[in-house]
Structure 1
Amino acid sequence: MEITKIIEAIENNEKIIIHRHVRPDPDAIGSQAGLKALIKHSFPEKEVYAVGEDVPSLIFLAQMDQVPDDIYKESLVIVCDTANQPRIDDQRYHTGKQLIKIDHHPVTDSYGDIEWVSTDASSTSEMIVELALEAQPRGWALNNEAARLLYAGIVGDTGRFKFPSTTVKTFQYAGELVRYDFDRTALYDTLYQAEEKVLRLSGHILQHFKLTDNGLCVIKLTENLLKEFDVTVEETNQLVQVVADVKGIKSWVFFIEEPEQIRVRIRSKGVVINQVAKKYNGGGHPLASGATVYTWDEARDLIADLEKVCGKNV
């Protein structure tokens, strides 16, 4: 079983480097840094690093390590929460002596010497809790910091336990984590707090959104609009659920314009949208996916495909 192979690989390596995807969300950071905290607490003598770009909005969870190139050749490398290799933050991941993939997204790119993918898991953080519990008889143990990080990851990827991906196991594992001493209220407050400028853009979206007859909502955040509200592309992550509670909505898509591409975030209340995302340089979960287009003409094609998907479910 892959989980046993991963436990043994971690036990058999003294240097471990953990990666995750670019533009991380709480689950990416939570699973990555939570795994690091779990290993360091269980094996204080091991060298364990978490690498990638620091994201200002999530630095309260964990700060990344700086790792020289020569450390990799002696290290086990683990990639968390990343379905395909181009999205791995820090492309040195392939220079280690062994590579492990731990992920909960549908497989679009099989990689790694050991690959553990569980699409039934709510989050990769949930998978790390499972790994910790599986390894408990071997002397592994969570601590307060690992619990805080993994709880944040689960909360982030389940929308505070509201999304359909939340299962009985999710609640059981969350229950295990809250046995540890960390401030859940402070964690929630920091995860979901937003600056005034982001809330003002949220208000603009709510004032101007439109819903098609098929239940699709399209939101275009152009470079000019982002400049007007002084909101960065990274800060738009906080807006993706702003129209989620609109009556009659089936799917919604955000287009975020950047100088060389248009980032796409797609969400759904039931219609399967990840195949549309896959067609446009992306992928993800059936109800939550991302993609990339390079022109507004491409964006119109993507919208048309989403309309078809929503129209089949009228």
Structure 2
Amino acid sequence: MIQEDILTAIEQFDTIIIHRHVRPDPDALGSQVGLQTIIKASFPKKNVYVVGESDPSLDFLAGMDAIEDSTYKHALVIVCDTANTDRIDDERFGSGQKLIKIDHHPEVDQYGDMQWVDTTASSTSEMIYELYLLGKKRGLQINAAAARLLYAGIVGDTGRFLYPSTTKRTMNYAGDLIGYDFDRQQLYDGMYQIDENIAKLKGYILQNYELQPSGFCTIRLTKDLMAKFNLEAGETSATVGTLGEIAGVLAWVMFVEEDDQIRARIRSKGPAINEIAQAFHGGGHPLASGATVYSWEEADKLCQVMDEACSKYQ
């Protein structure tokens, strides 16, 4: 059983380094730092680190560690919530002694000495809690800090339990986690409360989106526009679901212009979009993915493919 093999590896290594995907969301951070917290609570003498670029909008969840390259020598490396190697944050992930992949996305790259991929799980955070349940008999322990992180990951990747990925297992695990002593209201505020400038951006999106007869919808947020609203690119993630609230929208893309690229946040209510995202330097789930384009002309090509996918689905 792969989970037992993963537990054995965790027991064997004194140094463990945990990675996740670039541009983290609550599940990426929740599974990554939740696993770190569980391991540290269970094995206090182990050195357990989490690495990757920080996202200011998620600093309320957890921070990252800064470690030297030499730390990877003789280390166990675990990558959470990342289907393909191109999206792993911090390219040193291959520098350890052993590599493990834990993920719930559809398989893109097979990497690592061990892989645990469960596409029936709502989130990688759900998988980490399952790992804890299996490891209890071997001494694995969980605390309120870990429960908070895993709960945040599950809530984030299920859209507050609204998405079809939510199962009875998901709800049972979430029910277990809220039994621990953490402030759920404070967590929800951190995840969903928005500042006034985000509220104004939502108003702009609702007044300026483009909707095609196929049900494909798009909005383009340029650097000049974000400067007008005094926003960084990462802060726009709070508005990604806005277009999905509009009747008749089947799938949508929010383009966010950065200095050297254009981020594409892709969502769907029907047609599978993860393979489309992969064709544009990205990946993700069938109904929620991300991609990157490097010009507005390439953005137009992505829109054309999405429009065709919506037309075929109808």
Q: TM-score, normalised by structure 2?
A: 0.97
What's the offset of the Cα at 1:165? Answer: 1.0
- Residue in 1 that maps onto 2:237: 237
CA distance in 1, matches of 2:116, 2:299: 34
CA distance in 1, matches of 2:272, 2:43: 42
CA distance in 2, matches of 1:312, 1:43: 52
What does 1:1-314 align with in structure 2 at a 5 Å threshold? 1-314=1-314
In 1, are the aligned partners of 2:270 and 2:313 still within 8 Å (CA)? no
CA distance in 2, matches of 1:89, 1:273: 22
CA distance in 1, matches of 2:291, 2:71: 33
Amino acid at match of 1:130: E
What's the offset of the Cα at 1:125? Answer: 0.4
CA distance in 2, matches of 1:75, 1:278: 30
Superimposed CA distance per residue, residues 194-249 of structure 1 (whole angstroms, 9 cap, x where no aligned partner) = 22111111111011223211111111111111111111111011110012111111
- Could you say what secondary structure the match of 1:38 adopts? helix
Mind listing any 5+ residue stretches in structure 2 that lack a counterpart? none
* Identical pairs, percent: 57
Amino acid at match of 1:11: E
Amino acid at match of 2:261: Q
CA distance in 2, matches of 1:237, 1:116: 28
What's the offset of the Cα at 1:8? Answer: 0.5
Count of equivalent residues: 314
Mind listing any 5+ residue stretches in structure 1 that lack a counterpart? none
What's the offset of the Cα at 1:272? Answer: 1.2
- Could you say what secondary structure the match of 1:187 adopts? helix
Superposed CA RMSD in Å reads 1.1
What's the offset of the Cα at 1:102? Answer: 0.6
Q: TM-score, normalised by structure 1?
A: 0.97
Superimposed CA distance per residue, residues 80-135 of structure 1 (whole angstroms, 9 cap, x where no aligned partner) = 11111122111111111111111111111111111111111111100100100011
In 1, are the aligned partners of 2:87 and 2:282 still within 8 Å (CA)? no
- Could you say what secondary structure the match of 1:111 adopts? coil
- Could you say what secondary structure the match of 1:244 adopts? helix
In 1, are the aligned partners of 2:37 and 2:146 still within 8 Å (CA)? yes
Amino acid at match of 1:278: Q
- Could you say what secondary structure the match of 1:219 adopts? strand
- Could you say what secondary structure the match of 1:252 adopts? strand
- Could you say what secondary structure the match of 1:99 adopts? strand
Amino acid at match of 2:274: N
CA distance in 2, matches of 1:242, 1:99: 38
CA distance in 1, matches of 2:267, 2:186: 27
Amino acid at match of 2:246: V
Amino acid at match of 2:112: G
Runs of at least 4 residues off by over 3 Å: none
